[in-house]
Amino acid sequence: MTSKEHPQKEFNEEIDEQNKQERFLVLHNDDYHTFDYVIDALIEVCEHDVSQAEQCTLLVHYKGKCDVKKGSFSYLRPLKKALTQKKLKATID
């Protein structure tokens, strides 16, 4: 049988391959939340230590965005959801 006969299998294999690729969870500046709020969110959600959370927060402030975590899409998706539930702007790139 060819993959044309099983389009769902081909689709699932493509999704599996995408999930294995390394991606970045990117936090974007929103000019709304305080430094302390963002630092606390990064410590809680991304398990950053204080120093790492502070550095990421400064990069977000001055550069507009910062990669805060690296991993597969399936690993990063719940972290993105947790950050957005805290009203922070985050994407997976």
Q: What pTM was estimated for this model as a whole? A: 0.79
Angle at 7 between CA 4 and CA 12, to 5 degrees: 135
Other residues' Cβ atoms within 10 Å of the Cβ of residue 60 = 23
- What digits encode the pLDDT tens for the residues 24-72? 999 999 989 999 999 999 999 999 999 999 999 999 999 999 999 999 9
pLDDT > 70? residue 12:
no
